[in-house]
């Protein structure tokens, strides 16, 4: 399945304290300069949360801060909601399945 890029308001992206602490000023500067020169940066992979906000999924925090510093109000993202939902659905189906159907052992043979 090919990922699609869409634009969302930058204010809908939540950044964790851990992500903020791990920001390299040099990387943000490089991305900022590229944006100022008219380059298109790769879309940021995000996961959509139940409240309608997004979190950065893995890499992308430096691009996010470059867009933020330049005053962008919309940001290109690749939502991972469907893939995450499919993985969670599969996980919970397996978790909630009777032990004999998931390959586990059962005390009542």
For 9-59, the pLDDT digits (tens) are 999 999 988 888 999 999 999 999 999 999 999 999 998 888 889 999 888
> What pTM, to 2 d.p., does this model score?
0.71
Residue 103 has pLDDT above 60, yes or no: no
CATH number at residue 17: 3.90.1530.10
Mean pLDDT of 78-90: 70
In-domain check, residue 109: no
> By C-alpha distance, which of 77, 1, 15, 2 is closest to 41?
77
Tokens of 12: 């809908």
Domain that holds residue 60: 6-100
pLDDT of 96 above 60: yes
Question: Is residue 105 domain-resident?
Answer: no
- Map the chain to HEC letters: CCCCCEEEEHHHEECCHHHHHCCCHHHHHHHHHHHHCCCCCCCEEEEECCCCCEEECCCCHHHHHHHHHCCCCEEEEEECHHHHHHHHHHHHHHHHCCHHHCCCCCCCC
Residue 77 lies in a domain: yes
């Amino acid at each position: 399945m090919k990922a699609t890029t869409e634009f969302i308001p930058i204010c809908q992206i939540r950044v964790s304290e851990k992500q903020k602490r791990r920001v390299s000023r040099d990387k943000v500067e490089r991305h900022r300069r590229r944006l100022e020169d008219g380059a298109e940066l790769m879309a940021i992979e995000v996961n959509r949360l139940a409240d309608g906000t997004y979190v950065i999924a893995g890499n992308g925090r430096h691009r996010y801060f470059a867009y933020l510093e330049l005053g962008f109000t919309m940001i290109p993202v690749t939502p991972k909601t469907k893939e995450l939902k499919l993985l969670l659905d599969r996980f919970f189906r397996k978790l909630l399945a009777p032990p004999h159907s998931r390959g586990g052992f059962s005390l009542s043979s």
